[in-house]
Chain A
Amino acid sequence: AQRVTQPEKLLSVFKGAPVELKCNYSYSGSPELFWYVQYSRQRLQLLLRHISRESIKGFTADLNKGETSFHLKKPFAQEEDSAMYYCALKGGGSNYKLTFGKGTLLTVNP
């Protein structure tokens, strides 16, 4: 079975402060990890994926297989980063099922 845990439902920081959204996963094989974001009144969209190893909008995430984590980080938060963030895991096998965590609502205060 595959499971994604986001321990924080809410996270509030001030503009310019560092931000870290936590994600832990459970999966027996080699997973593919993603972060999806949903801004107010917009559809759910991909933010980044671990195999790309790229920075999107200043966000980075590193897959730590030892700790089974894929935390999302940004050194200096901006007000426009306020959104709902979902960590997701895609397993292998026959269906490549994508499982989401419950999400973390990030609020960046001015």
Chain B
Amino acid sequence: EAGVAQSPRYKIIEKRQSVAFWCNPISGHATLYWYQQILGQGPKLLIQFQNNGVVDDSQLPKDRFSAERLKGVDSTLKIQPAKLEDSAVYLCASSPSLAGSPLHFGNGTRLTVT
């Protein structure tokens, strides 16, 4: 099966600019996750979707981060405006259902904010 696709692989922006990441989950996977992984740390959940509804966004900095999954398939994560501390790898993952395991991860987008 095709894996989770993410783009772009790398992005460099200046602080206060905007950026968007795209994720295409595995076909048929209802649950989609966005994780932030700062260098030297484990992945931190930003937002979790079940189909096109948000299940958990408790750790999403909503003043600058937004995410959507309008048709319950692809998803975009946006940062506006970016800060230096947003430099990280942004990982997208999907799973068949909320309780279904395991998560399948994409390659991630490495964001550098200068």
Q: Which residues of A contact B (CB under 8 A)?
A: 4, 6, 9, 32, 34, 43-46, 49, 86, 90, 94-103
Contact = CB atoms under 8 A, between A and B. Distances in A.
Nearest to A86: B42
A97 B103 CA distance: 11
A32 B101 contact: yes
B102 A102 contact: no
Given A43-B105, A43-B108, A97-B56, A102 B40 contact: yes
Q: Which bucket holds chain B's interface residue count?
A: 20 to 34
A49 B103 CA distance: 11
Given A98-B33, A100-B42, A34 B105 contact: no
A95 B107 CA distance: 24
Given A43-B3, A95-B48, 10 more contacts: A44-B93, A45-B105, A49-B102, A95-B56, A95-B98, A96-B99, A97-B48, A100-B43, A101-B42, A102-B40
A42 B44 CA distance: 19
B103 A102 contact: no
Nearest 9 pairs of A and B residues by beta carbon? A100-B42, A46-B102, A44-B105, A95-B56, A102-B42, A95-B55, A100-B43, A96-B98, A43-B105
A34 B41 contact: no
B102 A34 contact: yes
B29 to A, nearest CB: 14
Given A44-B43, A102-B41, A34 B48 contact: no
